[in-house]
Amino acid sequence: MRALSRLLMATPSTMGSKSSLSEALALLPPLQLYRRILRVHRKKLDPEMRILGDSYLKSEFRAHRNVENPLHIIGFLTEWQLYAQKLEGDTWVGEKLDKDKLDKMSDQQIGQLYELMNAIKNTEGEGEGEDGSPVTLYPIANGPQSIPADLVALLHREFSAEIQAGCTYPMEEPMTLERFAEYWFGTFAVVAVLGEENENGGLREGRDWEKECLGTFYIKPNYPGRCSHVCNAGFLTTVAARGRGVGIVMGETYLQFAPKLGYKYSVFNLVFENNVASVKIWERLGFKIIGRVPGAARLANSEELVDALIIGRELV
């Protein structure tokens, strides 16, 4: 059976400034914004006002269809999104646009924001699964404070249990909650959640994360400076989601995000040889074993030292 993965892509072609990346994630692309405003009109306006509102919206978007100046486009979309946010009020789902931040941006930063926004797109991918349940993958680019604290706490517990099991990660002691939050979500991460995007209100406090969170992964440079175009990633599938094909879905998603973040090559430094499931996933996704560290790990599931495989592949 196939599991449908709905990927909420908001990905820059290059790693711009954190401010620009934040606003690019918040600013909806034209077609998505247009459709969202029409939905808001249906919910919030009486029939007569809705007809007027829809007509004006359509004429304005039609008039700006061929505009190419990034400053004009960003300004136009900003005003319409602020209008939509005001109409929806507290029911707005997703990142909110901050006009004060945009007003402080230089023309160059606005141009960068335009490029980042152009990289935002919706795609669909498929991965093996047992029940065919939809999976929504949320990009996290604004740090741990941008996602629910109870979700971070759950993932911290899951990661701590994985470390204590002593079979897949090299650490011997769990991290504190604060250190984990920065380690995992400090650069760029993705969280896989059961269900459709708007089915349960997106990423919000109070959801039953033990049942609904399926896993997460981060992406960060493997080396500094002149080699920072080579990336590394860490993956965690929650206990409740194992055996449901989430690993391959996240692996496929990783290969979509990493090149859009500007990375050219991916390398995993410590894939333990006896982690057969992980090795199979990466080989299936086109990775090759490019090195080996003999006897690299003392693992809880082996009486002997285990070799670590170095696995890599080009991203572009």
| 12 pLDDT above the threshold of 60 | no
Burial of 202 (0-12, 13-18, 19+ CB in 10 A): middle
- Which tokens is 249 given? 């879905």
Q: Where is pLDDT greater, at 263 or 91?
A: 263
Consecutive H or E run containing 39: helix 30-44
Q: What is the pLDDT of residue 197?
A: 58
Q: What is the pLDDT of residue 36?
A: 84
66 dihedral zone (left: phi>0; alpha: psi -120 to 50; beta)? alpha
What predicted TM-score, i.e. pTM, was given to this entire model?
0.65
| 27 pLDDT above the threshold of 50 | yes
213-244: per-residue pLDDT in tens? 999 999 999 999 999 999 999 999 998 888 78
- CATH number of this structure's domain 122-314, picked from the four choices 3.80.30.20, 3.40.630.30, 3.90.226.10, 2.40.50.140: 3.40.630.30
Of the listed ranges 140-144, 155-159, 286-290, 300-304, the least confidently predicted one is 140-144
At residue 7 the predicted structure's pLDDT band, cuts being 50, 70 and 90, is very low
Q: How far apart are CA 243 and CA 231, in angstroms?
A: 27
Q: How far apart are CA 44 and CA 229, in angstroms?
A: 46
Q: What values do phi and psi take at 275, rounded to 5?
A: -90, 75
| 167 pLDDT above the threshold of 80 | yes
243-295: per-residue pLDDT in tens? 788 888 899 999 989 998 889 999 999 999 999 999 999 999 999 999 999 99
Q: Where is pLDDT greater, at 42 or 160?
A: 160
Mean pLDDT of 30-45: 84
Edge-first strand order for the sheet with 230-237 is 120-128, 2-10, 135-140, 188-194, 213-221, 230-237, 265-272, 306-314, 288-297
CA 23 from centre of chain: 15
Number of other residues whose CB lies within 10 A of the CB of residue 12: 23
Q: Where is pLDDT greater, at 287 or 139?
A: 287
| 182 pLDDT above the threshold of 90 | yes
Residue ranges, CATH 3.40.630.30, the chain: 122-314
- Which tokens is 163 given? 């470390």
Locate the DSSP E strands across 100-194. Answer: 120-128, 135-140, 188-194
Q: What is the pLDDT of residue 118?
A: 57
Q: How far apart are CA 271 and CA 293, in angstroms?
A: 10
Q: Are 272 and 251 in contact (CB under 8 A)?
A: no
Pick the closest to residue 137 from 253, 15, 22, 243 (CA basis).
253
Mean pLDDT for the chain overall: 81
